[in-house]
Each structure stands twice: as structure tokens, then as C-alpha cells.
Structure 1
Amino acid sequence: MASPGTKIIKGKYVSAWGGIQSAGQTIGQIIALYVIWVVLVVLFAGMGVGMLQSTLPLYLAEISPTQLKGLFINAYTFWFVLGQLFASVALNRLHISAPYDFRTPIYSQWAMIGVSAIIFVFLPETPWYLVSKGKLDQAKKVLTKMHGRKQGYDSQEQVDLMMSTIASERAAAEQNSELGPWAVFQGKNLLRFIIAAWPKITQQLVGLTVFNTYATYFFQKAGNKDPFLVTLILSCVQLISMIMTAVSTDKLGRRPLTVYPYAITVLSLLSLGIVGCFDYSRPALSSLLIFFACLATFSTTGASAIGYAYAAEIPQQRLRARTTAFALAFSNMVAIMFSFTTPLMINGDAQWGVRTGFFFAGTGAVAVVICWFILPEVACRTPAEIDEMFEKKINLRKFKHYSPSDY
């Protein structure tokens, strides 16, 4: 897949490999007879999903028009949530008719894998990647195919802009000695890495695990014993959140749709903790429990999706793939930590129960304050403009009002 001497594999090949691993997982689950086999196929499934999660937002950011990047990147999370809803409905119906049939839903995955395989075959490489590798004619061809019908569009001009941006970044990197595999953590790139990673890390610090993975627990405490109904309710809440976020992020901006929803989540968690101090089995308080759990889910779903946009848009073009991967990896490490500790908070020796909301309200408040100070507004900005603002050390909270003609 890579030519001799190539150190970075093309993004679409990494995504395709993630799909291949998912196909391997499907085969493995069908023939799995021993526990160790199940463990291995689940491990490979996780690797495949991780590759897709780190490359698809990056691909969408590089191939989408500047004015619509937010829409397309958030659409990725929308389809992810919709797929979870379909899977929940299908598994519920199967559980009623054949509760011990676990292979049928695995067989059904082949339809989606087949569609994905066809898409990957015809998926073009991003112009930014092609220009960075000196394949200018191919980049121009892709741009012409995607945007050639627009009146007055000049694909050669766009290729020249990309070349100029990449050359400027390389010159600055050589001047500041920000080269090598660890350049992500050197100089201004370290700040850009922190900004790229922080929105996704914040989603963990505001208690995503509490009201996502353990949402059924809160509904059961409120008297609802049907976990499928809980899944339907929360999935619909997530879908509404994603539709609203996707259509508004390019108009309202990344920063307000990240900071303010996370702040609402913190207040929801604080309210959950307060409700947990009383007898929430009573109808009035149990309704509040469900309301705040749904509110936290609604506010966090959209903000979390915008985290992919920050991870893909903030880094320099030459370090975009590497920075995005590191940023999402750090977020997943925090998620792994809370996946082990949250059950201990809720039902372990601590027996915090619903009052676990107090803990995540505290960690979330700190994370949101940091978001307020470090998250810039980059909606509808080109990579060159973002580079320029970082190079000129523009105040992060004033990115929105920056104009190149003013400096």
C-alpha cells in the first residue's frame, strides 16, 4: 500500500484496514467456540474502530469545503448514533424471538461491511495529502472532480494555496527545530495538541461514562425496569442533539457549542448529585432524575462530536494525522480509566450511587474552565489562517474576530 521509503500510510488505507479488521471480527465471532477466540476478535474489533475513529474525522476535515467542515465531521457522529439505535432495536427483536441466537446479528454485519468496501474502493485520496507528497496533478484532478462545476472555481489556485501552506509550515518547523516523530509535543505544536485533545478529554471528565454506559442504572432507580426503553429514549435524545449540532456548528461556531453544552452537563451532574441526597424513589424526584440524565446526554453528545472537529482542524497540516491520533488516544486512555473506576463509585465500596454526580461535577467544572481559556474559534477558517493565528500568538479567545488585514 505504501511506496518504498514512505513513513506514513495514506489515510484511506488505514481506514480500509480498520474495515478489514471489522470483517475479520465478524468472521471470528461466527466461528468462535472458545472464550479466548471471543477475546481476540473483540480486541481486533476495538483496533479497527479506533483506526476508523482517528482517520475518518481527519479525512472529512481535509476533503470537505471550509464552510461545511463542521457539518460533515458531525455527520460522522450522527450516523454512529443512528447505527447504535438500529442495532439496539434489532437485538431487542431477536431477544424476544430467539434469545440464544447470537450469530444472526453477526451475519447481518456483512451487508454493512459490503457497502463500506464498495465505498472505500471509490474513495478519493484527500488533495492535502496528495499535495504534501508532491502529487500535484492527482490533487488537481480530485479538486476538479469535487468542485469543478462551481462557477469561477480554479483548482490550480487551490493547489498553489495548499503548496504554500505546507511549504510555510515546513520552513517554520526547520527554523524552530520542530522535526522528527515527537514534533507534535514541541513548541507551539504542544499547545495545538492540548487544544486538539482537550474537548474529547473533557467529555470523560464531565461524566460521559455515568450517563451513557450506566444510564440504565439511573432509570432503574427512578422506577423504570425496561432497559430497552431507556436505550430508545437516550438514542432519540442523542439524534436530536446531533442534528441540531451538525446544522449549526458552522454558523454558530465550535467554541460556544463546546463550552456552553459542557457547562450545562456540569450543572446537570450537580443536580443529579443533589437529587441523590434525597429519596428519589418518589415520583417527583424520580422524574427529575430522568430529566437531568437526558439533559446531560443531550448537551454532551453534541459537544463531544465537535471534539472530533477540534482534533482534526487545530493541528498543522504536516502533523495533522499524527496529532489527531495522539489526541484521540489520550482521550481513550482517560475513558479506560473511568470505565474501571466509575462502577466502583456507583456500586463499589463507596456506594455513592446517584451522588457520583458530585464527583464528575467537580472534575467537569475544572475541565470547562480550561475549555473557556484555551479553545479558539476555528469555524470556517482555512489551515493557512489557523497557522497564521498561532504564529502571531493571537489570543485564543479572539480567533473569531481575527482578520489578516488587521495585522
Structure 2
Amino acid sequence: MTSPVAKDKASSTHVEEPSLEMRGGKENVDTGEVESVHEAQPVKSMNIIKSVRTYKHASIICMLAAVGALSDGYQVQMSGSIIALPGFVRTFGVLQPSGKYVINPQYISLWVSLKNVAAMFGAGIGSYPADKLGRRWMILVVQIIMIGSCILEQLAVHWTHWLGARLLDGFSIGLAQCCINVYISEMAPTQCRGALMSLMQLFYTIGGFLSAVSLNVVSQQDPRNWRHAVLSQFAFCGVALIAWAFLPESARWHCIGGREAECKKILQMVNGKVKGYDVDVEYRKMLVEVEHANAAASLQGGGSYLDVFRGTNRRRLIISFLPWHWQVAIGVPIISTYSSYFYDMAGLANPFNGTVATNVVNIVMLIFAVPLIERLGRRTLLLWCGPISIVSLLIIGGILRATGPAVGPTLIAFACMWAVGYNLSAGPMGYIYVAETATTRLRAKTTGIAIIGIQAMATVYVYIPPIMLNSPAFGISNTVFFWAGTGTFVYILICFLVPETKGRTFAELDELFDRGVPACEFAKTKTAVQGDFERHASEARDLA
């Protein structure tokens, strides 16, 4: 015998009817209210240009939030490539009997790997203040810490000083990954959520490109003035602070906290001019999602960090982790993080030319990726374009076993081909999946834990390249083959575990995960919201 609860569940978005009693005495959502949400129009399918025009205010806000990634991208690229500048090497290196200055490879590994440890710490604690203080204020804290890192870099005269700057940098990146991703996912319209979230990777890449240009200019003028490249970072932090001033707080964060008036005020400000937009209906939809998350947490014992590892949340955590982890597993440490160092060891006359070339390709391909994310889907791009990077690594590994004048240009050509595959797959998808896969109540916590895992693996990945590249047992060629192997392994996991989330509201994603739909069937599975809409459309046609 089917209970009324089960019957209603079949025709609802994802609301567990036994969960209409909420934790902590929070207001309940009555049946009529829930039904009104379901009878409202579901998300309309529209192309990226139309959706951005329709929700132009929300799109601009998401773009302003993503500007914060400029300074992140500049810092990461600069810190990994500046070690090829003679002036930097002279400052932090040791004079050898040959008369050359050389930086201890372990120092280089510590600078980058401990930065990832600091990012783990930032991600670990970042979700708590992001939940308590708000997403907006955490974005400000990120830029303040980033400025502190820039100041320390300007004053550094010993390798430990540079290490301190890297720790501050890593800590700010961990905090940023907890709040900026979540903020954009909560403010972006569903129709263009993936495209707007990919702006994080785009601005991150633009920051990296500008860093490569800055280092190239310094190398062609007076490489001893390496601090000029560091000084440029203050400009990016300033731009991010100006953008921050125009950001409202996340409406969904207010909804989670029960602040209805503040939530509706922001919804009205951001989307009030959209034709047919109803603030009250949108708030009720949002409230149903929050109440469902509260109820699920109540049934599973609360909304703590441990709940991230329970039930369907554990699966969502793994999915949040894999695409972003693939970024480092598929070769970012050698083709991006240590790019100039890698090209220098490969024998390029000007290693910064290779870094600039790959960064140009990064930007161009990310611009192409933005509309494709919503047109083709996240999973499709991961599965189709990721192998391009893996094959490119195999070819690069083979090229580096040869000698001759053609090796350098060919190496750069296939590094650019690697960038094509990367920026159409792992590059933008890492940011998207980590922020949109988690359930509403646990989004900040799931994001934080996923980033801890990502940074833990990245700590290992970025520690070993200088050691492997300088090791007679590995060398340049075998080091590249190593990343081809790790990239292939994670690709296989993605094939089986990572679903398609294109065009799904958070309510629909909750339903699909609650039903245990396999990853390969997400895209073709009809949700209750879609079923209700088709039924209402059919009734409307019959009446007409």
C-alpha cells in the first residue's frame, strides 16, 4: 500500500514529505506552498547569450565575484615561473663552484607544496566563517590576506621569507575556493550557472597570462629586477577590491539563515526587472530546497562535517573532488605551475615564450568553453576533450627523448595542444562541479572538504616535479609520462562516477542524487519537476 507520503514524493521536486517538520523549530512549508512551487514554471531552456541578457544584473555580479581569481592566477603562475629569472636565483640561490647560482630543488618543492598545505588549512576553516559571516565578507578577507602576501614577497631576502609569502598566498587561495565558488553558484541563474562559474577559471587564466607577460618583459629588460613582477600583483588586488564593493550578499545565504526580508530584497535587486520574475515564488522555491536539506540533515543526524561523508552526500563529495583533482593529475604542475622551469630544463632559449604561448591558448579556449559548457554539457566536454591532453603528454614525453633544433618549437606546439584539451575539460569543470554538486545545507562544508582533499593531492603533485626533473632515474621525458599515467587513471574514474549537471536546478540535482541515478543516466533521467511541467503544458493545450 502506497502511503500519502510516497505518493506525494513522486510528484514533487525533491521534497521528502516526512521532512516538513524542520529542525530547531524553523518555520514549516505547508503542502499548498510546496505545490505552488512545483506548479510554477520550471527553468526555461535558453542559450547562453539570451540567458545572460535576461539575467544581466545577476551575470554582472557573478563576473565581478570571479574577478577575485585574477590575483590568484597571477600569484600561482608567478610563483612557479619566477624561479627561472637570474635575479631571483641570485637572491635565493647558493653560489656553486662553477660560478653559477642554483636554488636548492627542495626549497622550490617546499615553496609550492607547503602553499598547498596552507590552502588545505584555508579550505578547512573557510567554510565556517563563510556560513557564519557570509560569502561576501569572506571574499574581502581573501583579498586582504593576498595583499599581505604581496608585501612579504616585496621584502623577501631569504628563502624562508619567500616560503612565508607562499603560505599566506596558499591560505588565501583556500579561503577563496570556499567562498567565491559557492557565491557564484548561489547567485547565478540555473540557465547559465555553469558558464558563469567557468569565469573563475577564465579570470584565473588571464591572471596567469598577465604574470607570464610580466615575467617575459622583466627577463628581456633586467632580470635582476625580478621584484617588478611581484609589484604588479597589487594592481590585481586593487581591481578585486573595487569589484567587491559592488557585490551584494548571497540571497541563498540569507534564506538559509531565515532572513526572509533580506533574501527577498536581494532577489528583487538582482532579478526584479526580469520579465515574469516573481520574488515570492522564487523565495518559496529556495525555501523548499533549504527545508529539504534541513530535513535530510535531521534524518541523518544533523548538518555537521560528518554528514558530508554520510549517505548520498558522500557520493556528492567524491563528484565534487574528481574533476578539480584531475587538473593537477593531468599535468598542470609541469605545463603550468612550473612551466618556465620545465621549458628551461627542456633547453628552450627563452622559457617564458613557451609560458606566454600556452597562456594565450588557455584564454582563447576558455572563451570557447563558456558557451559550450551549457550547450554540450559538463560531462560531455570532460569525456571528449580530456583525452586530448593525455595524448599530448604522451607525445611530449616522446619528443623530449629526441635532440635537435626542432624539439623546442614542437614541444611548445604540443603544450598548446595540451592546453586546448585541458581548457575544454578539467580546467573550467573543476570549479563548476565542486560548487554545484553539494546539497544546499552542506554546500560550503562539502566544498571545503573537497578542496582539502584536492590540495592534499596537489601538495604531493607539486612537490615532486623539481625532484623528478632533476633526477637521473626520471628526467624530463619520464616525468611527463608519469603525468600521462595519473591523468588516464583519474579519467577512468570520471567516466564511471561524474554525472551531467547541465540545466539542472539544485532541487532537481537533490532528487537525482536521492534516487541514486547512475552518473551515465543523469542527463536522460526525467525529474518530477519536468514531469509536472509536461503535465501542466498538456492540460493547457487541451484547454486551448
Aligned to 1:51: 175
Pairing 1:256–2:380 present: yes
Superposed CA offset, 1:279-309 (max 9, x none): 24363x6654333222112211332221110
Pairing 1:124–2:213 present: no
Match of 2:163 among 39, 46, 50: 39
Aligned to 2:290: 166
Residues 86/207 of structure 1: CA separation in 2 closer, same or farther (3 Å cut): closer
Aligned to 1:375: 498
Secondary structure of the 1:149 match is coil
Offset of residue 210 of structure 1? 2.5
Pairing 1:241–2:365 present: yes
Unmatched segments (≥5 aa) in structure 2: 1-128, 533-544
Residues 106/296 of structure 1: CA separation in 2 closer, same or farther (3 Å cut): closer
Count residues in correspondence: 401
Match of 2:215 among 91, 109, 118: 91
Contact 1:207 1:360 in 2 (8 A): yes
Contact 1:316 1:387 in 2 (8 A): yes
Offset of residue 104 of structure 1? 4.2
Residues 18/286 of structure 1: CA separation in 2 closer, same or farther (3 Å cut): closer
Aligned to 1:183: 307
Q: What CA distance in whole angstroms lies between the structure 2 residues aligned with 1:165 and 1:376?
A: 21
Q: What CA distance in whole angstroms lies between the structure 1 residues aligned with 2:320 and 2:219?
A: 41
Residues 111/344 of structure 1: CA separation in 2 closer, same or farther (3 Å cut): closer
Pairing 1:336–2:459 present: yes
Contact 1:57 1:73 in 2 (8 A): yes
Aligned to 2:538: none
Which amino acid is 1:340 matched to?
A: Y
Aligned to 2:434: 311
Q: What CA distance in whole angstroms lies between the structure 1 residues aligned with 2:414 and 2:421?
A: 10
Aligned to 1:156: 280
Secondary structure of the 1:194 match is helix
Offset of residue 182 of structure 1? 1.5
Pairing 1:290–2:412 present: yes
Contact 2:334 2:342 in 1 (8 A): no
Which amino acid is 1:312 matched to?
A: A
RMSD: 2.5
Q: What CA distance in whole angstroms lies between the structure 2 residues aligned with 1:176 and 1:274?
A: 52
Which amino acid is 2:336 matched to?
A: N
Pairing 1:299–2:421 present: yes
Pairing 1:325–2:486 present: no
Contact 1:201 1:334 in 2 (8 A): yes
Contact 1:148 1:155 in 2 (8 A): yes
Contact 1:222 1:281 in 2 (8 A): no
Contact 2:358 2:412 in 1 (8 A): no
Contact 1:54 1:324 in 2 (8 A): yes
Which amino acid is 2:271 matched to?
A: H
Offset of residue 125 of structure 1? 1.0
Offset of residue 62 of structure 1? 0.7
Match of 2:481 among 358, 369, 388: 358
Q: What CA distance in whole angstroms lies between the structure 1 residues aligned with 2:222 and 2:484?
A: 42
Moved more, 190-199 or 213-222: 213-222
Q: Give the 5 Å matches for 1:181-260.
A: 181-216=305-340, 219=343, 224-260=348-384
Contact 1:218 1:354 in 2 (8 A): no
Contact 2:200 2:431 in 1 (8 A): no
Q: What CA distance in whole angstroms lies between the structure 1 residues aligned with 2:240 and 2:334?
A: 32
Contact 1:193 1:315 in 2 (8 A): yes
Offset of residue 103 of structure 1? 4.6
Offset of residue 375 of structure 1? 0.9
Q: What CA distance in whole angstroms lies between the structure 1 residues aligned with 2:339 and 2:241?
A: 34
Offset of residue 322 of structure 1? 1.1
Contact 1:254 1:306 in 2 (8 A): yes
Aligned to 1:10: 134
What TM-score do you get using the length of structure 1 for normalisation? Answer: 0.90
Q: What CA distance in whole angstroms lies between the structure 1 residues aligned with 2:342 and 2:323?
A: 25
Residues 248/24 of structure 1: CA separation in 2 closer, same or farther (3 Å cut): same
Superposed CA offset, 1:204-237 (max 9, x none): 2222212223444665577631112112111111
Residues 308/363 of structure 1: CA separation in 2 closer, same or farther (3 Å cut): same
Q: What CA distance in whole angstroms lies between the structure 2 residues aligned with 1:213 and 1:41?
A: 17
Unmatched segments (≥5 aa) in structure 1: none
Contact 1:344 1:350 in 2 (8 A): no
Offset of residue 262 of structure 1? 1.8
Larger RCO (CA under 8 A, 6+ residues apart): 2
Offset of residue 249 of structure 1? 0.5
